[in-house]
Amino acid sequence: MAPPAMENQITNGDEITTKYKLTIVGSGNWGSVASKLIASNTLKLNSFHDEVRMWVFEETLPTGEKLTDVINNTNENVKYLPGIKLGKNVVADPDLEHAVKDADMLVFVTPHQFMEGICKRLVGKIKGDVQAISLIKGMEVKAEGPCMISTLISKQLGINCCVLMGANIANEIAVEKFSEATVGYREDKDVAQRWVQLFNAPYFQVSAVQDVEGVELCGTLKNVVAIAAGFVDGMDMGNNTKAAIMRIGLVEMKAFSKLMFSSVKDTTFFESCGVADLITTCLGGRNRRVAEAFARNGGKRSFDELEAEMLQGQKLQGVSTANELYEVLSQRGWHELFPLFTTVHEICIGRLPPSAIVEYSEHPPTLVEDSA
Ligand SMILES: NC(=O)c1ccc[n+]([C@@H]2O[C@H](COP(=O)([O-])OP(=O)(O)OC[C@H]3O[C@@H](n4cnc5c(N)ncnc54)[C@H](O)[C@@H]3O)[C@@H](O)[C@H]2O)c1
Ligand SMILES: O=P(O)(O)OC[C@H](O)CO
């Protein structure tokens, strides 16, 4: 990774210490927890500037105050992470271009549907040698096929982009309950190490694997399986059924990832970003919770309505990802290969009832051959 520009270098006797400036693009539930983790580390680690800038999609609170002002006055994101201090070195900034202009390292953590617009606004507005990481679980679908969010960032901004995914329900990490995460990187191990250093904490153990696509697809696809798990809960079908849905989901996640990118490694599915994230999301995530409510209402209330009522501004990723995935499966004629992914979308749009989540899997018993 290229060292930061001269103005970020501090001379200490004969030693020159490079200081990387950090900006976080996004300030939702996970974005705020990421700020807390990073802000605690930049105070401890010499190679980073203390200040962490956080871009906030500005909104006016019911009190009439601006969210940014409240964060800067109270050090708390009262809307998306109430009750948690972010660190006094976190500065909320409602001006996207201003927030990124001096950054050497950019952390992207918004709901995936906003990233295309954000990237367009950032073209020509960031420094040339910036390193980025995406914590975003989702993808875009273009005429030429699916585009992972890290690829969108890399292509539109001309910068390298790692990813960080894992079994990471933000509210649990906010109160420092132990968890793990996985950084996915392409080539530069030193850059990956820098990201690991920046996020790692005794209660947040981060490791790095050379498999950006595998890590990012795990984080993206598990949200669709979480919707299926929520349907199972909403119909009170029990733990065995939910475990079956999780297993089938994992098989489809792996098969889809490998069809898309032959470079995806089997071992990635055993990292925090793989099976661990699938389990936590299907047990305690927002996608699961809202899908449960959808099924309990017999599919009569839309996901949009339930999301607005239950999440107060937080965004689901699973429903739109199921839709995007369906588009890819249609483009390639792959519906029969991915019955769970296909059925989740058809239930979400009301074409099938929630009970279809198990009906599709009534196929003849199979003998699994050992490929080892
Ligand atoms: N919350 C978690 O537990 C968690 C954990 C791991 C990963 N993630 C992933 O992190 C990403 C961000 O999720 P989150 O939980 O931080 O967000 P969130 O769902 O809590 O909040 C939604 C955010 O979107 C912003 N927003 C609303 N309209 C916008 C617009 N038009 N343009 C830009 N921003 C807008 C809101 O201000 C808010 O910051 C998602 O991909 C999610 O899957 C979330
Ligand atoms: O609450 P969810 O369903 O968006 O999932 C949160 C995280 O992705 C879990 O790792």
Q: Is the CB of 280 under 6 A from ligand 2?
A: yes
Q: Is the CB of 307 under 6 A from ligand 2?
A: no
The pLDDT value given to residue 372: 44
289 is in an annotated binding site: no
**CATH number of the CATH domain containing 168:** 3.40.50.720
Give the domain extent around 238. Answer: 214-359
Residue 201 to residues 177, 178, 181: CA-CA distances in angstroms? Answer: 11, 9, 11
The pLDDT value given to residue 6: 45
If asked whether residues 162 and 286 sit together in one domain, one would say no
Q: Is the CB of 107 under 6 A from ligand 2?
A: no
Which whole number is the average pLDDT over 127-135? 96
- Atom 5 in ligand 2: residue holding the nearest Cα: 285
- Atom 17 in ligand 1: residue holding the nearest Cα: 28
Q: Is the CB of 137 under 6 A from ligand 2?
A: yes
Domain boundary, last residue among 189, 210, 231? 210
Centre of ligand 2 to C-alpha 281, Å, is: 5
Centre of ligand 1 to C-alpha 237, Å, is: 30
The pLDDT value given to residue 9: 58
30 is in an annotated binding site: yes
If asked whether residues 249 and 206 sit together in one domain, one would say no
Q: Does residue 345 lie within any of the structural domains?
A: yes
If asked whether residues 230 and 131 sit together in one domain, one would say no
Which whole number is the average pLDDT over 269-287? 98
Q: Supply the pTM of this predicted model.
A: 0.95
Domain boundary, last residue among 210, 239, 254? 210
367 pLDDT more than 80: no
Q: Does residue 366 lie within any of the structural domains?
A: no
103 pLDDT more than 50: yes
Which range (132-146, 296-310, 314-328) has the least confidence? Answer: 132-146
**Catalytic residue set:** 222
pLDDT confidence band for 366 (50 / 70 / 90): low
What number does the ligand 1 atom closest to the CA of 80 have?
Answer: 20
Work out how many domains the chain is built from and give that number: 2
The pLDDT value given to residue 144: 80
Q: Could you report the per-residue pLDDT of 330-341, keeping only the tens digit for each?
A: 999 999 999 999
If asked whether residues 189 and 255 sit together in one domain, one would say no
Residue type, 200: N
ipTM reported for the complex surpasses 0.95 = yes
Percent of the chain with pLDDT over 70: 92
Q: Which residues of 203-236 are buried (b: 16+ CB within 10 A; e: fewer)?
A: ebebebbbbbbbbbbbbbbbbbbbbbbbbbbbbe
If asked whether residues 231 and 156 sit together in one domain, one would say no
313 is in an annotated binding site: no
Centre of ligand 2 to C-alpha 2, Å, is: 33
Mean pLDDT of the chain: 94
Ligand 1 pocket, residues with Cβ under 6 angstroms: 26-31, 57, 80, 109-112, 114, 135-138, 168-170, 314-315, 317
The pLDDT value given to residue 365: 53
If asked whether residues 61 and 173 sit together in one domain, one would say yes
Which whole number is the average pLDDT over 296-304? 96
Which whole number is the average pLDDT over 172-177? 98
If asked whether residues 272 and 322 sit together in one domain, one would say yes
Domain boundary, last residue among 160, 188, 210? 210
77 is in an annotated binding site: no
